[in-house]
Structure formats: structure tokens, C-alpha cells
């Protein structure tokens, strides 16, 4: 059994990692750490885990020592040092934070006000979006797991962009996220009475996930892509819905688009291309590693609309991280991840 | 006191009309009708109204007879005949349905599969969006009250369009609505366990409000405007958030936009232009007739983003209808409508 | 116009006071204070209040100076000193906290770990539950406004207890409250993702409102009453539902109970006795000062069941405080409080 | 592999059965039926099931033919005939409806207005609450699966009652259920805008689960037990919280109660006895087969309070049905049921 450790296990992504790993046939949870809850059982923090995962939170060092693969679910900026330790120790390191996602240091500096402390490691890091970059991930030891929006949006647009069916400018990603994306720490904005029955946009056209999406889409388009990204906060726990708009190139038909998506994703276990007439819904992917995608066209205005839905904590975080682990260790890619979304 | 009647009083818009009218200083509820609940008290249908409005639902005829102004909150297609009756009787008729909203019969036929049964009345009808067409509404007897999306989107875009600051093509209106917009009749999609914790788009680029928005914006721009409209369903009761995107013309600055909106709306009681850094939120307009608008710019892509929020049942239906009544009767426009939104 | 001031205006009860006072025909908001937001406008804290109440938060002293009546919405323990200042200045003081609710200092010490710093003031204080103690409140200058549970439960049980129709022991009050009752300060338990889709009891048989309920019910029964009180937290913003159980004395019939309640509450504007077959629901009293009560009987076990519903922030806090102000100043008791609950 | 069939697969309990069975190591879904959706794939009814369970709904007959065990998730009254068919064919029949739950025909007639059409089968039927009646269930072919409330309440009270620590009269079960308990069919009361932000009791002291609970508790107490049962409807999808009150016999201490529960449930996989200071919460058992129980005492009034939480669709329906299947076939009782509840 692969020994898996989780650093930052008491945050939402960390807790979800522990839960999903408990059902993995070839990996098992070896150790967990938490700065805030060191010495406490995970089930004291999450009573839902009582009797299922009562492991005591230790230190980062203990996790590294006991694990073959270390998942880091840390605030941005805290992963580089840990990655260096793991790299030296020959361990696989999968970072759920942003430290290794951006390839260009100047972008990292601009959006995160931080620099590359270990530039040599950034050369080793691969971007862990398997449906787009699978071959690069296999067997790697340092994987930057994408963020939630940055999974949902590129998956929705990649096939159309790769085929050159849509214009590379004027793309709009209007996204709506469940509240768990904002983390476990209580804030005024996420206090129940303030968020309940509310809905708004935030960080309008200024969210840090913007350059990450552009980087991915530029690789796919093989030339620079810019987009306008506006995230919104939904009064639900889980899920991201990305409604993506792009101008269609002349002569592109719905059939051509459907073929492009079928070709790109037809064999992907975790992507479900919906049938005509259906629209992706966050409800249908809850607690699963699926990304549902529906394709639409506004013929009146020549606009392509792709709607994608993921569970921000699974395909948008913990599930995809385990998918990357499976690729890194040469396991079946779906191992431990055939999660059946509940109907309600 | 103006005698006000509500046809279709047991639907959500009708019920909201009765509630708001109860606080009007110069109008009072004279009669209500309901096909489904004839003979029953409104408070039997809505127990919240017990002791506040126990009026018995009668027939359409009774409402017309007893009222100076008739509000029709009927399914689309049922208003034209009633409008003719009211017109003949010299009453003011305010239609919350779609029958008189579209000026061109061919658009009405295309989107509603219905025809103009009283073309002469359509010539008399005015479109009741006071902040854009106030002068045309004053003193009129036949008013088409706009739909909810068709209030939120044009108000968000009109000043920029009027000044020619944005391109007339490529406009995108990504809208999110509370569930009351879908009416009181139970459906599978709005059954609590199915809608709760869900979020999706519907009628993607094919919703009937599209031509209505284009009609309004074309009047403002004084040339044809087309837009892509995608509505989504939020798991909340009330509210519409419209996130509108348009390409900026060269040289247009944030200051120019802010001036345009201040000029257009600075004196409007019901429009609140938010300060820089704030974003419109449906929570802040609940149970009020306000339309909150915030302006944003994506300089990286040259995109203008206007976000507007209304209560779909007030500014998007009953409140605006009463605002139109006030204009029709020469009352203070805000009479009965200075509704203070609760903080939570 | 009566000048009304609110100390602690940025908490939920304080904010609700400001909102309801804005519609009062004979009182107006004179000043507000907030320790946390001094110098900020109320509408910066609650953007819903923008343009409706942009008053700047000042100090406690400023509020006292400018006001005829001071509402204190402060954490428990902070009101006694302020009450003394107001008393000396001849102002009316209405305390929404617990400092003056309990008559016996030993109970206050036991449940609040605090003592009576101004015992002479405690003798002047009246308990402001108008439907039970109206005559004592009229014209008074120091009023202890009841808590939310302690309004809902005594109103549900008082008529049966006064008539001696139920046993005085073995009473159970199983209550369920909306989240605003826990205040505006973010906590882990009220963080959206943790509370959403959750439901539990808290402070089981150990909540501070217990002695307050017993005090009220003992006055009504004219002999000591003890009860078991278990509060639960509902994932809704507003409302308290109290399901109260008591053993019926022999020979008591439903008709006798209905008569007792009709006699006690038939003329009360704010109490709505529901018709047979209906059950009190928090939805129907939202944003209103109503207390809905339904009566039920389990003949199989000889159990009386009274269900009451209030809006915890209105009849359970701000609304009742204004009702008390009206009594203190000799105004119409319903002035400013004929609030029409929305249907949805 | 055991071939398992589900009759009524498109209802909530049926759909949940299909989902949980998909993860069972020794059983597989052989066939499903639905009167309303015959000929359609289960994933057309529940898009969440797309690619996970696309089985086509057939007829009841087809299910019986293809299956070793038939789960019936039918409206009350429709199971007896089907049970007879299965019995004759030598199949195991597990009924999620009420037809075989009550032992006395007069109670069935009184509460369900129906009679025993196959009295000989009622003699064969066992009541499938494994933690209380395990030995009777093993190897049986006709099992009446308890309802949701009737699982939560007896499990909460049984150990105290068995030991004689509480009085047998005066027991109160104040229960709160998620909406899925009311089924998939849209109703006015469960229409999203009407249920959202609402909370009320229903069928006060007259719910059909009352005699079923009394039957179970009377078996445990070995003498007649009556209780007062009031269900409430929570605006959440899943879960039942049962707050149960009983008078303590003199001399009974918390330690005695804790020992009784530890003795009764200490080895039960699906019952989690919470530690002192914790309270059962429906959140912590979602999507799992757990029943969480916390014990409390009101020393002031001599009242025992037991709070239990289950997922109404798992331990209260589908999960327990599979637990019963495991017992019927001599499998490991937890097979396919070690479901890890998500933290959020």
C-alpha cells in the first residue's frame, strides 16, 4: 500500500483528501498534520469522521517521514519549502496550493506578491490537469494541482480552442462557486445569516485564478489567450458552475463542436458530455470526481456557450489530487475515485 | 383613495402586489380574483397574510367593476382580452404579463406563439420601465410592466449604451434568478430536495425575455442591439443578479462611465449606484424596490462589466407595477414604495 | 417626535431596531452607537441600508444625550451601568440584554455569573412582555425586554397555565431558532458550510433562558413552575418555533383550551390564534411582530401541545422593544409595528 | 454475486438503494422497475447517475424474475401482493413500505385504513431493526424495513427502557426530518419558495409512525409503552433528529445511563455513542448508515433526554434495508455499508 500523508488536514481540502483516501484500494492514510489542531483527532474537528478517521494530527515532519506521497493543503506561499524537503527525501509531492501552478515567476509575483524560492523545483513541477496534460504527469514527483475555477473553465473550453473553432480574445468565464471554496475559517461574509439568501460577484476581473486559466488555455491554443473572469459566491456548500462564452469562428456548426468534444473527452472517465437539451448542474456532480459539460450555441449572436460543473472540493481539489497521485505512481487513474454522486 | 384591483392575486406577483398596496398612502386594495381559489380568502392561500389581508378572491369581472386600476398577474396570453374590457371601461390597466411588452407582432409570434388580438390597444400601450421611459408613462391607461430580467439588464447597461461607450454587439447578460420567478406552481425542478444545493443554467440563449431586452436597449442606443442572454436558477427565494459584459470602445475610462451613470441615475430614488469596491448583491435589495448597480472594468481585456441586483418580485414585478400606477395617476412616484430592505 | 437612540446598533437586534423605527409615525432615530464601528455609517456595515439609513455610529454618550428613549442591544452584563446613567438623566431605557430580566439576584448570579450592581434599579425595572404584563409596563422608564425563547414559550403556555388546565411540572419546551439569534459575530458553528444542511440541539437543558421562562410562568401560575428547555439551531435566518408539551389535567377538553386562549388573546393585535388544522410556522411571521399560536392535543396520552412561532428579531427582540416603547410613552401600542409578513 | 432488484427505483428510497448497492462487494443490481418511468434509464430521472447507473426501468415482474432479493420502495398498501409473489418464488423480500410493519391488523386498519390481505405472510414477516432484533432477522425471507422516525426514536430510547431507568408513560418524541422523507412528488408545501426559510410541525400527535414506535418500544419494555410523537419538517434534504424526553426513575444517574447505552450499543458498528458535551447532529451522519446518539439529563426536572440523528434515506431507509439483506443472506452485516459521511 502506498503511504499517503496530508499536510493541512483540517482544512476543507485536507479533510476531503482523508475521506476519499479511506476508500482507495492501493493507498492508505499514513499521517496527517495541522498547525491549528496538533494533538487533536481529525474527528474532534469534524465529528462526521468519528469512528471513520480518528487519526491524531501531528507535525509536517511526521507526515513527511511516514509517507510516500505528501499532499499539501496549505495557504498559498507555504508549499515551496516543504516541496524542497520532500524532493530531497525522494517523496512524491502534490501541492493543492498555488505555489507551483504559474510557470512565469513574474506572474506569480504580480498575482501572489511572492517569488520562486526554489527555481530549480519549478522546472520539475508539472501542472496536474490530467485530461489536458496526462502524459506529462505520469511518474512525476512534483505536481501542482490546479485550483477549482482553473479546472472547470479550461475543461469547458479546451476542445473548441484546440480546434480553432472560437476566437482567442473576448472569452468570458462567468463562474459561480459554493462556499467551501473560501475555506474553513469563519468570516463575516460567510457567516450564515449574511450569506444565506444572498448572491453576488466578488474580485470582479481581478481573481488570482485568471493567469492560471490563461496559461492553460494558451498551451492548448498554442498562442496567447486572455479572458475575463468573474467569480460569484453561491449559497451552497459544494460545486462550481462555469458558464463560458466565446465568439464562434465563421462556419463552425454545433456538429463540429460536438465532434471536437467527443474526440477530446469521449474516453475520459471523469468527463461526462451531456446530451442535447441537458445543462450541466452542480447538483449532479456533488461528492464525485466528475466534470459535466454541456454545449450550447447562440446562433443569433454567433456565440459559443460551454457550461461545466464540478465539485470544487473533489475534481476541483482533493479528487483531482488523488487522480494525479494515481498517475504519478502508475496506478489505474480511476483508482479510489469512482465516486457515485448522490441524487439529492 | 384609488381603488386598486388584482387579477391573479394568488400567484406570487399578485400576492406581493396585495402586500405592498396595503402600505400605500393613496391607494387601497378594492378587490382580488383568482381562478384557482375563487371563494377563498387570500390568507387561506398565504397564511402569512392572516389578519393582514383576509379578502376573499372573487372573479375578474368583480375586480374590474370595483377598481380604478387593474393589475393583471396572469399567465402570458390571457391579458389582451381583459385589457380591452378595462380600456372600454376607462380603467387603468397594468399588465404584469408579456402580452403588451413587445412592439413588433412578429417577435411576439416568434417567442410566444401568439398574435395581437387587439392591435389598436398595442398602439396605446407604453412600456413601464420608469427610469428609462418615465415621460411616456405619465397619465397612461395601458402599461406593460417589464419582466424581471428585462428590468435588471437594461438598467445595468443603458447609460453606457446611450453614451456610446460600449460596442452594440457582443453584449452578454449572464443572469441568476431566485426561484419565485418560476411561479407558485410546484414542479419537479423546483421541488425542494431537487433545487436545494443545486445550480444550473436554463433556456440557454433561448429565453423569451431576450427580444424584450433587445427592444429596450435598441431604443436607448437608437440602433439595433443584440445580446446573448443566459439565465440561471439560484437556490434562494428572491432576487436577480445580472452580470453584464460589453466590449469597451477605445479611450473610454472608468471615470467616464461613472459620470454617465451618475448623470443618468443620480436622481433616481430606486437606483443605488454603489461605491467603488462594492458589488451589487441580491441580499441588499430584498423586499425593496431598489435596483443596485456596480460598475467594473477589466482593463486587461477591454471589457466593461455592470452588475445589477433587484428583487425579482418587487422592482422586477409588483413594486415596479405600483411605481407605474403612481406615474399613471400623477402621484408621487415613490408613494408606498419606500421599502426598507432588511439586513438579514 | 420621540427621539430614539440605539446603543449597539450594528448588532442584529440593533440594526433591526433602526429599520423598524424608520417607519414609526411618532418616533425617529436620533443617534446610534457601536463600539466596533464608531465613525462608520450603519450602511457601511449593512449595505442593504444604503440610502435608507446612512447615520454615522457615534458613542454611547452621544446616544444618551440626543435621545428620549435609549434601546440597549449590548452583550449581557454591559447594560446596568448605562441604565443608571439613563435613569439619572430621566430617559426611558429599554434593555434588550438580560441584565434586568431576572428578579432574583441569585438566579442572575447562577446563570450569568454576574451580580446586581445597581439593586435599586432592579426594583424599578419591569419585564416587558406586554401581552402578559401590559399594565405594569405603561409609563415605565426602565424596561427589560424579554429574550426570544422567553417570549415564544410563555405566550404559548400562559392561558392554559393560568386556568389550571395543565400540570405545573413535567412541562417541556422543545424550541428551534434561526441563526440570527446567535448574533452577528462569525463563529465556526455558524460558518455557512458547517451550518447549512445541519441541525442539532445545543445547551441541552442548560440554556440561560430557562430561569427567565420559569419566572414568567410562575407569575402566571402563581406558584413555582419548572420546565425542561432544549433549544435547537435551524439553518434559517429568522424565526423561533416553540413546541411546548404539558400534561393535561383530567376533564380538560380542546374546547376549554380554545376558550381560554381566545379569552386571553382574542383582542391582542400581535397574537394570531390559528384555526383548527393549521400549525404555527416561522415562515408566516417573518419580519413581523406577530406571534402565531396553534393548539393541539394528544388524547392517547393526555398531552397538551402548543406551538408558537415568532420572528426572533422582531417579536423576539426589536419589535417587542418598540411595543414596549409605545407603552412607556402612552402611544398606540401598535404604532410602527403593523408589519406585514411577506408570503415568501 | 447476489442479484438484487429494486421495485419503485425512481423514488428517493429506491434511487438511494441503487446507489448504495453499486458499491456492495457481494451483491449487484440486477433489475429496476418504475411505473412512472418504465422504459427510461434511471439516469434520465436522476442525471447525477449518468454513466454510473444507466439501467432501464422495467416492470415489477422483470425485477422479480431476475433477482434473488427484491427491495420494494412502493407507496403503502402495494407491497402485500408483491410479497406473496416473491414468497412463492422463494425470493427474499424486503419491504421499505409499511405493509408488514405493524403486527396487529387492527392497528394497521386504524392508521392505514387497510387490511392484511395475506395474513399468513404477516406471520412470517420480521421487523428489520437489526440493533434491536438482529437474531430474528438472520436468514429470513420477508423483512419489514422500519420507517425513518421509527428507527431514530426506538434506537434513542431502547437501552434506558430495557433497564427500566425511565417511566413508560409520558415519553415525548419531538422529531425533525429533512424533506426527502416526503418523497419525490412535488407538492405545494415542498415547493422551494414555500419551504425555504420555513419550519413547522405537521401531523401533530397523529402521524402513522406512532403505533410502530410504540410496538417496538413495548417489545423492549416487555409491557405497553405509549408516546407523544410530533414530527417537524426541516428545510434540509436529508436527516432526522429525534429529541426524546422521558421521566427518570428515582436514583438513576448519568453513569447508569451511559453504562446501559455502552452495553447495548458498544459493539454496534452503525451506532456511534457521542462523548459527553457533544450533541447528535444530522450533518454528521449524512449519506452514511450511522445513528449518532447523545445522552443528556435535566437534573432540575428529573428528565432524561436522548438525541439521535440518522440519515433518513440511509439508516432510515435504503441503508438499513441493505443491512437487513446482509443478515438475511448471512453476509457480513456491514458489507457495502461502511459509508463515510462527508464533513460538509
DSSP strand pairing (C142-144 vs C92-95): parallel
Locus of grid cell 445569516:
A193
List phi, psi (to 5°) of C309: -135, 130
pLDDT band at A76 (very low <50, low <70, confident <90, very high): confident
Q: Is residue B283 one of the residues assigned to a domain?
A: yes
Query: Is A334 a member of any domain?
Result: no
pLDDT in tens, B240-255: 999 999 999 999 999 9
Residues C80 and C153 reside in one and the same domain = no
Q: What is the pLDDT of residues B41-74, one digit of tens each?
A: 999 999 999 999 999 999 999 999 999 999 999 9
Residue of D nearest to A10 (CA): D343
Dihedral of alpha carbons A242, A248, A249, A251, sign: positive
Chain C within 8 Å of A191 (Cβ-Cβ)?
A: yes
User: Pairing relation of β-strands B303-310 and B291-298?
Assistant: antiparallel
D111 and D190 both lie in a single domain:
no
Task: Tell me how many domains chain D contains.
Answer: 2
Q: Looking at beta carbons, which residues of chain B come within 8 Å of C22?
A: 340
Interface check B271 vs A, CB under 8 A: no
Separation of first and last alpha carbons in chain A: 34
Strand, coil or helix: what is A343?
Answer: coil
Average pLDDT of span C281-295: 98
Whole-angstrom distance, CA of residue C331 vs CA of residue C327: 6
Note whether A190 contacts C: Cβ–Cβ < 8 A.
Answer: yes
In a domain, D336, yes or no: no
C-alpha cell belonging to residue B77: 396570453
Task: List the single residue in A235, A247, A281 with the smallest CB-CB distance to B236.
Answer: A235
Q: Which other chains touch chain A, taking contact as 3+ CB pairs less than 8 Å apart? A: B, C, D
Cβ(A128)–Cβ(A320) below 8 Å:
yes
A236–chain C Cβ distance below 8 A for any pair: yes
Interface chains of chain D (3 or more CB pairs under 8 Å): A, B, C
Tell me if chain B has a CB within 8 Å of the CB of D195.
yes
Give me the pLDDT at residue B63, please.
Answer: 98
Q: Is the pLDDT of residue A192 over 90?
A: yes
Q: How far is CA B307 from the centre of its chain?
A: 16
C-alpha cell at A67: 509517507
pLDDT in tens, C64-106: 999 999 999 998 889 999 999 999 999 999 999 999 999 999 9
Same domain? A155 vs A256: yes
- Which SS3 state, helix, strand or coil, does residue D264 take? helix
Is the domain of B305 the same as that of B321? no
Would you say the ipTM is above 0.90? yes
Tell me whether residue A225 is in a domain: yes
Say whether residue D179 is in contact with chain B using an 8 A CB cutoff.
Answer: yes
Q: Does D278 touch chain C (CB under 8 A)?
A: no
C-alpha of C185 from chain center? 20
Comparing CB atoms, the residue among B186, B196, B236 nearest residue D188 is: B186
Nearest to D228 among C228, C232, C298 (CB): C298
In a domain, D214, yes or no: yes
User: What is residue C76's predicted lDDT score, i.e. its pLDDT?
Assistant: 86
Question: Of the candidates C211, C212, C205, C213, which has an alpha carbon nearest to the alpha carbon of residue C231?
Answer: C205
Give how far C132 is from chain D: nearest CA, Å.
Answer: 25
Cross-strand partners of C304: C246, C297
Q: For the sheet containing C171-177, what is the strand order?
A: C200-201, C227-233, C171-177, C240-247, C303-310, C291-298, C271-273
| D274–chain C Cβ distance below 8 A for any pair | no
Q: Is C197 within 8 Å of D237 when comparing Cβ atoms?
A: yes
Task: Check CB contact of B48 with chain C, cutoff 8 Å.
Answer: yes
Closest alpha carbon to C183 in C19, C33, C313, C338: C313
Of B185, B187, B237, the CB nearest to D196: B237
Cell of C269: 393585535
Residues spanned by the domain of C17: 2-145+315-328
Q: Which residues of A are catalytic?
A: 148
Q: Which residues contact B107 (CB under 8 A, 6 or more apart)?
A: B211, B215
Q: Is D3 in contact with D67 (CB distance < 8 Å)?
A: yes
Q: Does D281 touch chain C (CB under 8 A)?
A: yes
Q: Please, which residues have CB within 8 angstroms of residue A13's CB and are 6 or more apart in sequence?
A: A73, A96, A313, A317, A318, A321
B118, B183: one domain: no
Are the C-beta atoms of D137 and D326 separated by less than 8 Å? no
DSSP helix, strand, coil percent of chain C (3-state; round to 5)? 35, 20, 40
Comparing alpha-carbon positions, the chain B residue that sits nearest to D182 is B193
Q: Which chains touch C (3 or more CB pairs under 8 A)?
A: A, B, D
Tell me the mean pLDDT in the region C264-284.
Answer: 98
In angstroms, the separation between the Cα of residue A178 and the nearest Cα of chain C is 9
Helix-, strand-, coil-residue percentages of chain D, each rounded to 5 = 35, 20, 40
- Nearest-CA neighbor of D77 among D94, D95, D63, D62? D95
Vertex A134, ends A132 and A135: CA angle to 5°?
125
Q: Which residues of A touch D281 (CB under 8 A)?
A: 47
Chain D residue with CA closest to B180: the answer is D193
Neighbours of D147 (CB within 10 A): 24
* Residue A306 belongs to some domain of the structure: yes
Cα–Cα distance between A189 and A167 in angstroms, integer? 37
Residue D107, pLDDT score:
96
CA B134 to chain centre: 15
Segment C238-244 mean pLDDT: 98
Q: Which residues of D touch A15 (CB under 8 A)?
A: 343
| CB within 8 Å of B249: residues ≥ 6 apart | B164, B165, B166, B167
Say if residues A145 and A159 touch (Cβ distance below 8 Å): no
| Residue A93 sits in the same domain as residue A179 | no
The one-digit pLDDT tens for each residue of chain D (344 residues) are: 999 999 999 999 999 999 999 999 999 999 999 999 999 999 999 999 999 999 999 999 999 999 999 999 998 889 999 999 999 999 999 999 999 999 999 999 999 999 999 999 999 999 999 999 999 999 999 999 999 999 999 999 999 999 999 999 999 999 999 999 999 999 999 999 999 999 999 999 999 999 999 999 999 999 999 999 999 999 999 999 999 999 999 999 999 999 999 999 999 999 999 999 999 999 999 999 999 999 999 999 999 999 999 999 999 999 999 999 999 999 999 999 999 999 99
A116 φ, ψ (degrees, to nearest 5): -80, 110
Condensed to tens digits (0 to 9), the pLDDT of residues B104-152 reads 999 999 999 999 999 999 999 999 999 999 999 999 999 999 999 999 9
Report the CATH number that the domain containing residue A116 is assigned in CATH: 3.40.50.720
Q: Which of B12, B184, B193 sits opposite D237 (nearest CB)?
A: B193
Catalytic sites of D, residue numbers: 148
Provide the CA C153 distance to its chain's centre, in angstroms: 10
Tell me which chain B residue has its CA closest to the CA of residue C284: B48
Q: Are residues A87 and A233 in the same domain?
A: no
pLDDT digits (tens, 9 = 90+) for A289-308: 999 999 999 999 999 999 99
CB pairs under 8 A between B and C: 84
Tell whether A201 is within 8 A of chain C (Cβ).
Answer: no
Q: Please check whether residue C94 is in contact with residue C70, taking contact to mean a CB–CB distance below 8 angstroms.
A: yes
* H helical segments located in A274-318: none
Beta carbons of A48 and D237 less than 8 Å apart = no
The pLDDT score that the predictor gives to residue D87 is 98
The DSSP 8-state label assigned to residue B314 in this structure reads I
Q: Which of chain A's residues have a Cβ under 8 Å away from the Cβ of D14?
A: none
pLDDT of residue C327: 98
Q: Are residues A195 and A71 in the same domain?
A: no
- HSE toward the beta carbon, residue B148, CA cutoff 13 A: 28
- Give the residue carrying C-alpha cell 435535566: D298
Residue C50 near residue B273 (C-beta atoms within 8 A): no
Closest by Cβ to A342, choosing from D51, D285, D287: D287
Classify residue C341: in a domain, yes or no: no
Buried/exposed A237-272: b ≥16 CB within 10 Å, e otherwise: bbbbbbbbbbbbeeebeeeebeebbeebbeebbbbb
Q: Which residues 6+ apart lie within 8 Å of A66 measured at CB? A: A3, A5, A30, A31
**Interface contacts (A, D; CB < 8 Å):** 83
CA distances from A312 to A183, A278, A291, C196, D106 (A): 11, 21, 10, 17, 53
Is there a single domain that holds both residue B133 and residue B163?
no
A185: left (phi over 0), alpha (psi -120 to 50) or beta: beta
List the CATH number of the domain containing D295. Answer: 3.30.360.10
Query: How far is it, in rounded angstroms, from Cα C264 to Cα C246?
Result: 19
Question: Same domain for C194 and C173?
Answer: yes
In a domain, C34, yes or no: yes
Q: Provide the 3-class DSSP secondary structure of residue D93.
A: strand
Task: Kindly report, residue by residue over A232-268, the tens digit of the pLDDT.
Answer: 999 999 999 999 999 999 999 999 999 999 999 999 9
Check whether residue A131 and residue A167 sit in a common domain: no
Q: Which three cell numbers stand for residue B83?
A: 385589457
pLDDT at C56: 98
Which of the four pLDDT bands, split at 50, 70 and 90, describes residue B76? confident
**Cβ of B341 under 8 Å from any chain C Cβ?**
yes
* Separation between Cα atoms, residue D199 and residue C177, nearest integer Å: 10
Q: Where are the beta strands (DSSP E) in C171-302?
A: 171-177, 200-201, 227-233, 240-247, 271-273, 291-298
Whether C16 and chain B come into contact, CB under 8 Å, resolves to yes
Catalytic: C175? no
Residue D178 and residue D303 in one domain? yes
Contact A170 B301 (CB under 8 A): yes
Q: pLDDT of A88-111, one tens digit each?
A: 999 999 999 999 999 999 999 999
Distance in Å, alpha carbon of D193 to nearest chain B alpha carbon? 5
Measured in angstroms, the CA of B283 and the nearest CA of chain C are apart by 7
D169, D281, D297: residue with CB nearest C200: D281
CA-CA distance, A147 to A277, in Å (whole number)? 29
Average pLDDT score over residue span A285-290: 98
C-alpha–C-alpha distance, residues B286 and B340, integer Å: 9
Amino acid at each position: 500500500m502506498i503511504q499517503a500523508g496530508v499536510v493541512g488536514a483540517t482544512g476543507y481540502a485536507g479533510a476531503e483528501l482523508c475521506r476519499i483516501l479511506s476508500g482507495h484500494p492501493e493507498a492508505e492514510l499514513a499521517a496527517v498534520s495541522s498547525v491549528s489542531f496538533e494533538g487533536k483527532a481529525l474527528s474532534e474537528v469534524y465529528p462526521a469522521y468519528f469512528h471513520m478517521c480518528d487519526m491524531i494530527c501531528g507535525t509536517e515532519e511526521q507526515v513527511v517521514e511516514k509517507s510516500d506521497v505528501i499532499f499539501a493543503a496549505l495557504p498559498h506561499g507555504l508549499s515551496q519549502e516543504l516541496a524542497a524537503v520532500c524532493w530531497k527525501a525522494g517523496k512524491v509531492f502534490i501541492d493543492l496550493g498555488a505555489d507551483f501552478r504559474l510557470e512565469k515567476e513574474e506572474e506569480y509575483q504580480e498575482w501572489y506578491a511572492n517569488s520562486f524560492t526554489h527555481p530549480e523545483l519549478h522546472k520539475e513541477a508539472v501542472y496536474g490537469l490530467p485530461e489536458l496534460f496526462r502524459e506529462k504527469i505520469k511518474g512525476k514527483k512534483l505536481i501542482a494541482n490546479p485550483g477549482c475555477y482553473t479546472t472547470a473553465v479550461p475543461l469547458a473550453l479546451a476542445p473548441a480552442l484546440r480546434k480553432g473553432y472560437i476566437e482567442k480574445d473576448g472569452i468570458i468565464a462567468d463562474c459561480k462557486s459554493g462556499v467551501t471554496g473560501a475555506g474553513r475559517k469563519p468570516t463575516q461574509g460567510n457567516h450564515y445569516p449574511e450569506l444565506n439568501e444572498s448572491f453576488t460577484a466578488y474580485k470582479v476581473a481581478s481573481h488570482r485564478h485568471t493567469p492560471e486559466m490563461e496559461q492553460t488555455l494558451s498551451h492548448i491554443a498554442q498562442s496567447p489567450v486572455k479572458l475575463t473572469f468573474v467569480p460569484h459566491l453561491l449559497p451552497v456548500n459544494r460545486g462550481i458552475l462555469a458558464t463560458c462564452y466565446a465568439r464562434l469562428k465563421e462556419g463552425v456548426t454545433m456538429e463540429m463542436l460536438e465532434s471536437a468534444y467527443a474526440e477530446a473527452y469521449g474516453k475520459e472517465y471523469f468527463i461526462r458530455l451531456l446530451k442535447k437539451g441537458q445543462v450541466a448542474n452542480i447538483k449532479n456532480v456533488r461528492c464525485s470526481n466528475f466534470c459535466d459539460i454541456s454545449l450550447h450555441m447562440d446562433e443569433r449572436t454567433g456565440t459559443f456557450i460551454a457550461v461545466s460543473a464540478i465539485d470544487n472540493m473533489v475534481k476541483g481539489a482533493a479528487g483531482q489530487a488523488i487522480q494525479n497521485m494515481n498517475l504519478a505512481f502508475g496506478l489505474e487513474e480511476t483508482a479510489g475515485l469512482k465516486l457515485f454522486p448522490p441524487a439529492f
